[in-house]
A and B are shown apart, each in its own frame.
Chain A
Amino acid sequence: MMKVYLDNNATTMVDPEVKAAMDPFFTEIYGNPNSLHDFGTACHPALRKAMDSMYEAIGARDEDDIVVTSCATESNNWVLKGVYFDLIKNGEKDHIITTEVEHPSVTATCRWLEEQGVRVTYLPVNSDGVVEAHTVRDFITDKTALVSIMWANNETGAIFPVEQIAEICKERGVLFHTDGVQAIGKIPVDVIKAGVDFMSFSAHKFHGPKGVGALYIRDGHPLTSLLHGGEHMGGRRSGTLNVPGIVGMGKAIELADYYLRFEEENVRRLRDKLEDAILEIPDIYSVGPRENRTPNTILVSVRGVEGEAMLWDLNRAGIAASTGSACASEDLEANPIMTAVGADSELAHTAVRLSLSRFTTEEEIDYTIKEFKKAVERLRSISSSYAYMPESMKTEQ
């Protein structure tokens, strides 16, 4: 049976080139980069090269910082809690703006900040799944310390107007953070052009290793540290450097940058092919216009078929996908993103996400099209809600 991995927004395969770049740093060059001896300094050239790749890929300048962290969750926590300490707890501000569709590492941290007395505004999204820039303007006050809005959404792939939002924040003198996890490697990311103050990202979303991420900080803006200890990362983030991880992230981001055009053309073509074929099945709709989505993502609602059941059938066929369905979660809560973008309440139960990568092949897409249709057919034959759905509710064929 064919094995097809279409869950690349959850995590990606490590590119063999990345693994090869990391390999020497486990058993050959294993010194602590903070040590004075040769074992320690031996890893410096590779670390510097990795940092250069990161600066280049996102367009950062030498006066900016890219602080390597353990994951984007840490980066998001750091920027939110750091700004809280600096401008709210020990300052005059009291307000943070974010959206209803952020990753849990942003929303859960904001919920915690609310418990500490911070006012948090969660902006809604429109039916395309994006926050419109003017909404941000409407909610900024003199007390707003930070605006935190993602660059692209993990579930829908929707791309947010980051540049316009940054412009508004700059006008009002408010710091702007963007979670760039789903953007890097999928669409062009230039932090200077976009005008962001902070950006989080994570290596494992662009064919790098798990356990390494980063926070971009414009002009080395002061931010209270989350991890205190030794003077690593210029004293901004303590903890012995994850040398293989940093080398891997450097290589991965270099390749992601190199393959951007491939992503834009080939991955998009395969995605569109898959989406067109799926939308040929009656009573399926996809969320958000294609041109405003990351080129690898499809989120569809299959009327009459519950998302977890769909995932089960796809998995039996060797295909990995994802669902925001309440039934598939530990706590039976629907994914809040589905509720926020859902034009109807069914999306919270019927959503299936397929996310491709540059390793996805034409053959895999053809196979997926065939198996997806089979799964819909089988589950609709069992479904109680599809068979007797009133004709008026069915879309025109």
Chain B
Amino acid sequence: MAKQDLIGGSIWEEYSQKVQELMNNPKNQGELTEEDAKRLGGELIVADFGAESCGDAVRLYWIVDPKTDKILEAKFKSFGCGTAIASSDTMVELCKGKTVDEAVKITNIDVEKAMRDEPDTPAVPPQKMHCSVMAYDVIKKAASLYKGVDMESFEDEIIVCECARVSLGTIKEVIKLNDLKTVEEITDYTKAGAFCKSCIKPGGHEEREYYLVDILAETRKEMEEEKLKEVAQKQESGEELSFNDMTLVQKIKAIDSVIDESVRQYLIMDGGNMEVLDVKQNGQYTDVYIRYLGACSGCASSTTGTLYAIESVLKEKLDPNIRVLPI
């Protein structure tokens, strides 16, 4: 949110000139028939994707040469907004002259890039990237009809964000490598979820199989489990654990044993004692809450010299980021 966001713009202002021209005069709009196929000596493929009730529906016509798999002619029909019409038109243009195998490699990003006026300025606003996905899906549908296979067979990985084409594998890897904790961070790193936002959480524009919120929660859980396993392995092999690698229970045990060894005896000598009430992880700090018992409670030194001594011992033996807080 900043100066340029305060006065809302019209999404139409963000359409490239090419998009606008194609909306006004799509070049490849129309139908192909069996007669056309016969005339060109190819096979007619008619593929539908989407439905009017979902807001987008596109129909793709191909005439494919069965000997070379080459797309001899292509046309489309589309129920959708202007950007859906422009994206479909561009997609058809990109299909022409390619083989079916080459055509399925055309992605929605290729379609969007082909509609740009300037190489670095997006052709459509972020939420309209979704329209080009439709154009991409219908290619796969047409190819699956031609080859008699499932549409899914053209995807070698699970795509979570269709608009930015980010796979499940990439998202999990980025979360783990960069220790990401929020969906916003995932979007910043990968662009997943930056466009139509359907993949962020259920209830968006389109129903998805995977949602970023779930992937994040699962991956974080996996990371926790991996960390615990690592700790357990280290313990088993007798390797010394650093304080930072310990689980909270292990940290409490370690703090208790340092206090038993190096602190408690001196307090008892003066007729006092102490107990650890709680240990909390507070960012980089480990906060140890303690309560003084016997002569220690109310002793003037309990908040100055004694406290300093306890903290120093824990810092020296365990971790410099320990803070001791008397209650």
Contacts and interface: CB of A to CB of B under 8 A. Distances in A.
* Same complex origin of A and B: yes
Interface of A: 303-309, 312, 316, 325-328, 330-334, 344-346, 348-350, 381-388
A382 B24 contact: no
A359 B196 CA distance: 39
B257 interface: no
A344 B52 CA distance: 11
Q: Which 8 A-B pairs have the closest CB atoms?
A: A384-B77, A385-B79, A308-B81, A384-B59, A327-B81, A345-B53, A385-B52, A332-B205
A325 B197 contact: no
Nearest to A308: B81
B84 interface: yes
Contacts of A334: 55
A292 B236 CA distance: 79
Contact of B24 (A303, A316, A385, A386): A316
Nearest to A347: B53
B115 to A, nearest CB: 16
Contact of B8 (A308, A330, A385): A330
Contact of B127 (A307, A325, A330, A384): A330
B30 to A, nearest CB: 9
Contact of A328 (B11, B53, B205): B11
A52 B127 CA distance: 48
B84 A306 contact: yes
Interface string B180-213: 0000000000000000111000001100000000
B26 interface: yes
A349 B11 CA distance: 17
27 contacts: A304-B52, A305-B79, A306-B80, A307-B81, A309-B81, A312-B81, A326-B205, A327-B83, A327-B84, A327-B131, A330-B127, A332-B127, A332-B205, A333-B205, A334-B55, A345-B53, A346-B52, A349-B53, A349-B54, A350-B52, A382-B77, A382-B78, A383-B77, A383-B78, A384-B48, A384-B77, A385-B79
Contact of A349 (B55, B58, B130): B55
Interface residues of B, number: 36
A304 B51 CA distance: 10
A306 B58 contact: no
Contacts of A385: 51-52, 57, 79
B29 interface: yes
B233 to A, nearest CB: 45
Nearest to B78: A384
A304 B79 contact: yes
B81 A306 contact: yes
Contacts of B55: 306, 325-327, 334, 348-349
B13 to A, nearest CB: 12
Interface in B214-250: none
A382 B52 contact: no
Contacts of B78: 382-384
A330 B83 CA distance: 14
B180 to A, nearest CB: 24
Given A305-B79, A333-B205, A349-B54, 14 more contacts: A303-B52, A306-B79, A306-B84, A308-B81, A308-B82, A309-B80, A326-B205, A328-B11, A332-B205, A382-B85, A384-B48, A384-B78, A386-B79, A388-B59
A76 B130 CA distance: 35
Contacts of B58: 384
A331 B206 CA distance: 12
Contact of B23 (A312, A327, A331, A348): A312
B12 interface: yes
Interface string B7-31: 0100110000000000110100101
Contacts of B11: 328, 330
A325 B52 contact: no
Contacts of A304: 52, 79
Contacts of A381: 29
Given A345-B53, A346-B52, A328 B81 contact: yes
Interface string B44-67: 000010011111111100000000
Contacts of A305: 79
B53 A346 contact: yes
A350 B196 CA distance: 20
A394 to B, nearest CB: 13
Given A331-B197, A345-B53, A383 B24 contact: no
Given A330-B8, A332-B127, A384-B48, A312 B57 contact: no
Contacts of B12: 312
A306 B78 CA distance: 10
A332 B84 CA distance: 13
Contacts of B24: 316
Nearest to B24: A316
A387 B204 CA distance: 29
Contacts of B56: 306
A147 B255 CA distance: 60
Contacts of B204: 332
A301 to B, nearest CB: 11
B155 to A, nearest CB: 23
